[in-house]
Structure 1
């Protein structure tokens, strides 16, 4: 709370500061006029002041205009002054923060509606603000008011022409967000206006899905009364299954009792899935067992023919557990909690399928629980199964796949850093198996390779390099762990050769990350270090840089800003001597300049080159000659071979 108050106070101060700047500017201009008349001089002076006032009012502080800041923080007098006296643009958007999230392209009306300031909303609308204006994600002021339950603002905007069916970029409507957030009065109001109760989002979910996931039974009843149907989303999930997977038993119990709303099979799946959720999310073994018994009784003794289970193939990661089909065997599970947990994973995968996020999420969750208990092998086995599942069904560079790879990197780093020590459960952390890291590393290389191909197919103007960059960084951290382990193995060792081959496969892809950086750039960049908690994997990394160079990485490659890996190493603060020596031994040049004309020495700041390496040893005659040509501005283009012109130009 203190942070938000401080930020609001800062933003208010910024607004007031700009406002008073405007006032001082006007006063200064008027005083310069010697004749208090409507003569030509005063006319020109005031006109000039208005131009400068407009420029000040349109200026942004931290991405937001004064009007946006005033509307976000409820400063009515400031907003009124900016609108009436300074003629601020009512539609000029800005960046604002709500609940820790930055909203881009938010117009003033959206900010006031989201923050719940009805009096400012009325002020803006009365002066002509467009009620259906949107943010960058196509969110309207009406949707913003629905999100936080501002019913008075919702009614006012609708009365002034707001469209209740405008959805954001994900296809979520005002009704959907009101249902998800549990605002029953807003949901009732929107339904009274004829809101489309069965409209689908981009991913196929409806308002009924949203309230089933959030656990709002009263809104769910209201939607059903208004004709909501049990439709499926893009994952094949009905609202009933959505309630079961999130553990809202009261929603499940209500829906399965409504005649003709769900089938008998859907009822069975919901009870079984709710039981799996009880095991993994609520740790309620007894409750889960009762739910599974009810489902089995419905299968074998419910109205209609028997509905047998379609058993899936036994999986090693699940300890070859199979679903129980005999009611008498269910009671035996209570004597073996571990088998019960595996039963929950098997049931969830059968019902949800491998593409549903919760399937792999709970596999990874169970693996994490094993790791906490010191059972690292079981964790690695489950996580590999989840990663294989994700890479087989999800798009490349999917955040879930990234998360799985990152978790592996954290786990391996922890094991290397804590080897031999006792965990909180009293178990000793075992040495990490180098083949396990190599196995995951190869999967990461595959993700980089196929992900880069996917990115290349996207038009340049639409590419987002963040996901690819993150996967590249994670892959390099795995490579860093492998090179650390190589220190204790002979180069002729078969495993050592496999590691060399895999890192070579990574380098030969020649993939570029954000800002045009190569793998070697990232390995030499402090910003690429994502594992601050674990010293086993830190960038810049001397041993990783050395390995990348050994398998063919270019030490003189430049990024979009003209930086070589050596330039990035110099900005590490402090620059590690080991990385500098590795790059120079690999063929880097001390005196290459980047796009800003800066050399390695310029970027070191508090360090000196001779403190890191023997400068004389790495100073080449060809480089010295190039520097002399540039220093004395000797014409060289056309006088030297064309291949040398670029060499001279970068010194």
Structure 2
């Protein structure tokens, strides 16, 4: 049994045995895994014990010399993990563990580290408070007062350090300054405002942990949703933009939160378009706001297999938005460069259906948006607010940046098959766009059906086509190579040995597509 297994077993005797008999290093790194899947983060034995809330194991590790200042792979020390509750089973500050680590005598915690810890645990309580008389507010005030006393009533005085090098996104989001004195804190508590304290908690976490920390990133994302509930659309956008910026510097962000944040923003853009069409105010749905969201999906797709279908839907919906804007040549180049990278990304396909970006654009719906909603007093912002599919504009721009017009999903359906199944007809712009890109008109899916077979599958449609002479002209769109493949497939009833002599082997797969 290794040290990680011993700690997760819940038995302090197992941990003691591994350390004393097995000579395990109490300051090594421990990686939790199951069936070959590794779970983040990479912990120290002490941060893992804090994460699991095992007070007896923590005490044993401290007695055996575990380093209280050694952080895990996310930059959280045992003390900051206990203060924030991040990754712990309760998701709340654990004051018992917090005091145990803070007061242990073996490795005294420095004064600045104590101040940071008090400010972080106070910020976590303020994040959860709703009134100035509840438990969370009282505990937040208690710890921030302790931090102020330790900062200013002990010599030498340690003023709060200013956050330097704030990005443009951070300056827009943090429009207020962090409170600096006990007097300011007391005055703020007298005229309590829930939103004000949440912003102060964010500022404190951002200053201490930095924007590249997962905890800071999740706080920003959570606060952005809070702003939406306040009907503050501008700050909703600003904090989401800052959260997106921070996610790019997080080495291994939560893949589910990243995907949901991208979808949440995409939905919000469509809802805001509806709002902005009825007002003369500032337009929030702009290239400057939409393009960073599209760019972020590139990294998320590379890291994320579980939510890949959702992210592909987001790319298509964001592309619909961007193709509807009047872009400058520079903006158009940036947009198409991003799509070029996405089209060539190996991970740009849905593992369940096998559909890539082009096939998603040829489909009739975005499943992720049909069932998605952004909650604001139970208002559903779902499918009817998003861009209409199939989208000829998206198909066109994807083909322009190099998408394969003959790509297929797991059922062997090409874009043409999906367009016809979506109700498009031979004369529609989307179908004609694929024709002009040189797609194989007579390519079959795994059911042996061509696009024309699907067109004539319905009796009513078949009769309309015959009466109006709506036909897919075999000489107008297919190449001579395709016509030859069709002829060989239909009329080349040759023995196998003769077929192998007459038909080059590298053409077999191509012929069987027809």
Provide TM-score, normalisation by structure 1: 0.58
In structure 2, the CA distance between the partners of 1:187 and 1:540, relative to structure 1 (3 Å rule), is farther
- For 2:490, the equivalent position in structure 1 comes to 631
Q: Indicate which of 341, 363, 369 corresponds to 2:226.
A: 369
Question: Is the contact between residue 592 and residue 600 of structure 1 (CA under 8 Å) also seen in structure 2?
Answer: yes
Aligned length: 447
Establish whether residue 591 from structure 1 lines up as the match of residue 446 from structure 2.
no
Establish whether residue 563 from structure 1 lines up as the match of residue 446 from structure 2.
no
- For 1:83, the equivalent position in structure 2 comes to none
Establish whether residue 333 from structure 1 lines up as the match of residue 188 from structure 2.
yes
Question: Is the contact between residue 268 and residue 298 of structure 1 (CA under 8 Å) also seen in structure 2?
Answer: yes
**Rg comparison, structure with higher value:** 1
Establish whether residue 537 from structure 1 lines up as the match of residue 379 from structure 2.
no
Deviations, residues 255-293 of structure 1 (Å, cap 9, x unaligned): 323334422222111100001101113443343223112
CA–CA separation in structure 2 for the residues paired with 1:580 and 1:265:
71
- For 1:187, the equivalent position in structure 2 comes to 12
Question: Is the contact between residue 240 and residue 270 of structure 1 (CA under 8 Å) also seen in structure 2?
Answer: yes
Question: Is the contact between residue 476 and residue 523 of structure 1 (CA under 8 Å) also seen in structure 2?
Answer: yes
Shift of 1:394: 3.5
CA–CA separation in structure 1 for the residues paired with 2:49 and 2:188:
33
Q: Indicate which of 318, 323, 327 corresponds to 2:178.
A: 323
Secondary structure of the corresponding residue to residue 30 of structure 2: coil
Provide TM-score, normalisation by structure 2: 0.72
Shift of 1:228: 3.5
Deviations, residues 534-590 of structure 1 (Å, cap 9, x unaligned): 12236742355455368466573223755321223455xxx2327982332111554
Establish whether residue 257 from structure 1 lines up as the match of residue 111 from structure 2.
no
Establish whether residue 475 from structure 1 lines up as the match of residue 340 from structure 2.
no
Q: Indicate which of 80, 84, 87 corresponds to 1:241.
A: 80
CA–CA separation in structure 2 for the residues paired with 1:215 and 1:397:
22
- For 2:46, the equivalent position in structure 1 comes to 208
Task: List runs of 5+ in structure 1 lacking aligned partners.
Answer: 1-163, 168-172, 422-427, 456-463
Question: Is the contact between residue 593 and residue 650 of structure 1 (CA under 8 Å) also seen in structure 2?
Answer: yes
In structure 2, the CA distance between the partners of 1:397 and 1:268, relative to structure 1 (3 Å rule), is closer
Establish whether residue 285 from structure 1 lines up as the match of residue 131 from structure 2.
no
Shift of 1:420: 8.8
Secondary structure of the corresponding residue to residue 156 of structure 2: coil
CA–CA separation in structure 2 for the residues paired with 1:397 and 1:569:
35
Establish whether residue 267 from structure 1 lines up as the match of residue 139 from structure 2.
no
In structure 2, the CA distance between the partners of 1:293 and 1:252, relative to structure 1 (3 Å rule), is same
Establish whether residue 621 from structure 1 lines up as the match of residue 468 from structure 2.
no
- For 1:439, the equivalent position in structure 2 comes to 288
Secondary structure of the corresponding residue to residue 382 of structure 1: helix
Q: Root-mean-square deviation (CA), in Å? A: 4.3
Aligned pairs for 1:30-49 (under 5 A) are none
CA–CA separation in structure 1 for the residues paired with 2:464 and 2:265:
34
Establish whether residue 229 from structure 1 lines up as the match of residue 67 from structure 2.
yes
In structure 2, the CA distance between the partners of 1:365 and 1:554, relative to structure 1 (3 Å rule), is closer
In structure 2, the CA distance between the partners of 1:595 and 1:551, relative to structure 1 (3 Å rule), is same
- For 2:88, the equivalent position in structure 1 comes to none
- Between the two structures, name the one with larger relative contact order (CA 8 Å, sep ≥ 6): 2
Shift of 1:367: 0.9
In structure 2, the CA distance between the partners of 1:223 and 1:393, relative to structure 1 (3 Å rule), is closer
